[in-house]
Amino acid sequence: MSESPGPKLLLAEHRFFRGMDTAFVAGLQRHSYQRTYEPGTLLVREGDVADEFLLIFEGKVALEIVVPDRPRTTIQTLGPGDVIGWSWLFPPHRWRIDVRALKPTTTLGLAAGHLRKILDEHPAEGYRFLLRLLPVIATRLENTRLQLLDLHGY
Amino acid sequence: MATNSASSAAAPTASGVPDPWAPAPFVVRARRQETSDIATLELSPARGAAPFAFRPGQFNMLYAFGIGEAAISISGDDTQSERLVHTVRIAGRVSRALYDAAPGTVLGVRGPYGRGWPVAEAEGHDVVLVAGGLGLPPLRPVLYRILADRAKFDRVEVIYGSRTPPDLVYYDEIQRWRARTDLRFQTTVDKAGREWYGDVGVVTTRLPDARFEPSRTIAMLCGPEIMMRLTAEALEARGVSPDAIWVSMERNMKCAVGLCGHCQFGPAFVCRNGPVFRYSEIRPFLAVREV
């Protein structure tokens, strides 16, 4: 992982924040951290403190589950426009999955403590934020259900 | 389309009229193992049988002599009608016998049957093809047709989902399609280990990356019904008209000519009125638990 040397990425241009209140997004931008990851490196490790909300701008990552004595399994891949996880939002603020870069990947990370404080202090924007995050959660749940059905096997 | 071919594989009766029940003999010229339970057979006419023209999306009844008959989509190039290509997955006794057919084996062929994909209607449009599992073989003739006349179509997006990486069919051909610059071919699987650097997730997760103008897009979907329904809903949410979305239905087909009723789906027979339907025609029946 390295601090990204590339041009400054704008939170407002990410699919998740597009169209949200500009002052609100600009406030979040000031507490964002741009990083790049080489293929094979972990962005997130299961059990670690979930201290950032990560938004992918370039590249591709795999959400992986590791079970001892079993092969590492990829549950889903994510790319530009996607966000990584919600463990930072709810106690115990620990990641529940590994996230590994498959390609050179650039992210913006928002410091979780600051983001939670902003969402508390601005409930209207916080509500709109959750209205964007909840469909991400719901869609991933639906997709996982479909994967469990093993549709292509029949 | 070849010009020196018959309109049907059916053997003629004494009156000269093709008998829809009589299979014509075709010999297996080549067999390619695709996955652990899927094989592609290349057939050509045997003992006086004639090649016949077909349209992308149509199917044939393949007869394993002494065992039985199964409806199998045609997955080859419709400009090479003398070379009939079928991709078969083991699902029961008949498909097992077809899958096992070695070069030199003679099979019976009745067909072609059914309504095909709206390839001509798609000219001048963006085209989105979405296949799940064994849904790629029925769509492959569409892709051949598009690539043979690429300038007639605008953007072309293909999304192909499979269970695992080893379950992907036409692997070498997919690599060639992915290398093309006039086509975007995305593959995704439901489950993979670390050896796979491609995408993991259901096909609808790839749609946000697909580039097409919804108001001038024709979409063709083939795969498990729930996959087609969710994909159609996602395409509609992006603005594609349900009249411009086409799906290929699969039902247990026996006679293939609309007589036996085995493949009835709501008011339609899949063998005669389909297997390709406009999504707007059959949407009400896709959510019915028992049709």
Band the pLDDT of A20: cuts 50, 70, 90: very high
A154 has a pLDDT exceeding 80? no
Judged by average pLDDT, the poorest of A36-45, A98-107, B12-21, B127-136 is B12-21
Of B132, B194, B208, Cβ closest to residue A152:
B132
A65 has a pLDDT exceeding 60? yes
Q: Calculate Rg over the CA atoms of chain B.
A: 19
Q: Which residues of B touch A83 (CB under 8 A)?
A: none
Over range A141-153, report the average pLDDT.
Answer: 84
For residue B160, give every residue at least 6 positions away whose Cβ sits within 8 Å of its Cβ, in sequence order, or none.
Answer: B130, B131, B132, B136, B168, B174, B185, B186, B187, B188, B203
The CA distance from A4 to the nearest CA of chain B, in Å, is 23
Q: Which residues of B touch A72 (CB under 8 A)?
A: 193-194
Superfamily classification of domain B24-113: Translation factors (2.40.30.10)
Render the burial of B17-34: b for 16+ CB within 10 Å, e for the rest. ebebeebbbbbbeebeeb
Of A79, A102, A149, Cβ closest to residue B209:
A79
Q: Which residues of A touch B197 (CB under 8 A)?
A: 102-103
Measured CA to CA, the distance from residue B194 to residue B18 in angstroms comes to: 54
Q: Closest-CA residue in chain B for A72?
A: B193
The CA distance from A34 to the nearest CA of chain B, in Å, is 23
Across the interface, do A147 and B201 touch by the CB < 8 Å criterion? yes
Higher pLDDT, A48 or B82: A48
The pLDDT assigned to B231 comes to 94
Measured CA to CA, the distance from residue B233 to residue B247 in angstroms comes to: 12
A2-153: in CATH 1.10.1060.10: no
ipTM for the predicted complex? 0.82
Domain ranges of chain A: 2-153
The pLDDT assigned to B48 comes to 80
Question: What CATH number belongs to B119-286?
Answer: 3.40.50.80
Across the interface, do A151 and B132 touch by the CB < 8 Å criterion? yes
Across the interface, do B200 and A77 touch by the CB < 8 Å criterion? yes
Q: Are B32 and B171 in contact (CB under 8 A)?
A: no
Domain ranges of chain B: 24-113, 119-286
Render the burial of B63-98: b for 16+ CB within 10 Å, e for the rest. bbeeeebbbbbbbbbbeebeebbbbbbbeeebbebb
The pLDDT assigned to B17 comes to 64
SS3 assignment for chain B: CCCCCECCCCCECCCCCECCCCCEEEEEEEEEECCCCEEEEEEEECCCCCCECCCCCCEEEEEECCCEEEEEEECCCCCCCCCEEEEEECCCHHHHHHHCCCCCCEEEEEEEECECCCHHHHCCCEEEEEEEHHHHHHHHHHHHHHHHCHHHCCCEEEEEEECCHHHCCCHHHHHHHHHCCCCEEEEEECCECCCCCCEECCHHHHHHHCCCCHHHEEEEEECCHHHHHHHHHHHHHCCCCHHHEEEECCCCCCCCCCCCCCCEECCEEHHHHCEEEEHHHHHHHHCCCCC
Each of the 291 residues of chain B gets a pLDDT tens digit; together they read 333 456 677 666 666 666 778 899 999 999 999 999 999 999 999 988 888 899 999 999 999 999 999 999 999 999 998 899 999 999 999 999 999 999 999 999 998 999 999 999 999 999 999 999 999 999 999 999 999 999 999 999 999 999 999 999 999 999 999 999 999 999 999 988 888 889 999 999 999 889 999 999 999 999 998 899 999 999 999 999 999 999 998 777 788 887 888 878 888 888 888 889 999 988 888 777 776
The pLDDT assigned to B251 comes to 78
The pLDDT assigned to B11 comes to 64
Token pair of A23, please?
A: 């002052």
Q: What is the pTM of this model?
A: 0.88
The CA distance from B90 to the nearest CA of chain A, in Å, is 10
A147 has a pLDDT exceeding 80? yes
Select from A41, A72, A146 the residue whose CB has the most chain B CBs within 10 Å, as the one to mutate to test that interface. Answer: A146
Over range A83-110, report the average pLDDT.
Answer: 95
Altogether, the residues listed in chain A come to a count of: 154
